[in-house]
Amino acid sequence: MEMDLPFVFLDLVLHIDKYLPGIIESYGFWTFPILFAIIFCETGLVVTPYLPGDSLLFVAGTLAGAGYLNIEVLIVVLLAAAILGDTVNYWIGHTTGMKVLDMKCSFVRAEHLDKTREYFARYGGITIVIARFVPFIRTFAPFLAGVGKMSYRWFLTYNIVGAVLWVLAFTLVGFFFGGLPIIKENFSLIVYLIIGVSMLAVGSIIFQMLRKSSCNERVTGPEGKN
């Protein structure tokens, strides 16, 4: 049973949006520090891009709309977590970025870094704002901004603008839906629906990655030769 505890904890962290109603019921106000920690880690640590972001904001907003959380406190907590997370990520990239990139870490996938570099090449600094709405890119963008020595003054501006747009967009949409009578009456069903959509999105990403890997293998052959 003790051997299962790490896996239970990992499942709780990775799918906190699914467990959030129960967490609120059990911990009350302490739910806010938990939400802060998850969003901070997802945006602030380059090794935790798999944590829930968009779905967590939406579910939290829905719960606030249903009366389970205070919306004002929720928005302040999420904004603080998102802004501080990106800031920490920037300075990690700025100070030790190349050492992190040289480390072989299964959580930091080369394709995610390459995709983020493509965003920077195409959109420049505004990538920090755009990346807020793109899973994985959201985690790597501030890190690469630090590696590339982007002016911190400009980074902070993009960081704040992106955080405000991201948090308000998902949280307030969730808050609106959470306040509807039909949502309140079928809240458990809605939560499972949100989780299902999130899993489909993740499944789609994994499918595309596997398909791309399969295509590359067919092109290069088993020994990597044309």
Asked if 79 and 35 touch (Cβ cutoff 8 Å), the reply is no
pLDDT of 226 reads 45
Question: What value does the CA radius of gyration of the chain take, rounded to a whole number of Å?
Answer: 19
Judged against a pLDDT cut of 50, whether residue 50 lies above it is answered with yes
Mean pLDDT of 100-113: 61
Mean pLDDT of 78-103: 85
Position with higher pLDDT, 5 vs 139: 139
For residue 165, give every residue at least 6 positions away whose Cβ sits within 8 Å of its Cβ, in sequence order, or none: 129, 132
pLDDT of 102 reads 61
Q: Say how far apart CA 188 and CA 69 lie, in whole Å.
A: 16
Judged against a pLDDT cut of 80, whether residue 1 lies above it is answered with no
pLDDT band with cut points at 50, 70 and 90 for residue 34:
confident
Q: Say how far apart CA 154 and CA 80 lie, in whole Å.
A: 18
Q: Say how far apart CA 62 and CA 66 lie, in whole Å.
A: 6
pLDDT of 193 reads 66
Above pLDDT 90, what percent of the chain? 21
Give 147-178 pLDDT, tens digit per residue.
888 889 999 999 999 999 999 999 998 888 87
Give 181-223 pLDDT, tens digit per residue.
766 666 666 666 665 655 565 555 556 556 655 655 555 555 4
Give 121-146 pLDDT, tens digit per residue.
787 888 889 889 888 888 888 988 88
pLDDT of 55 reads 79
pLDDT band with cut points at 50, 70 and 90 for residue 97:
low
pLDDT band with cut points at 50, 70 and 90 for residue 98:
low
Q: Say how far apart CA 196 and CA 177 lie, in whole Å.
A: 17
Greatest mean pLDDT range, 60-69, 88-97, 141-150, 164-173 = 164-173
pLDDT of 69 reads 87
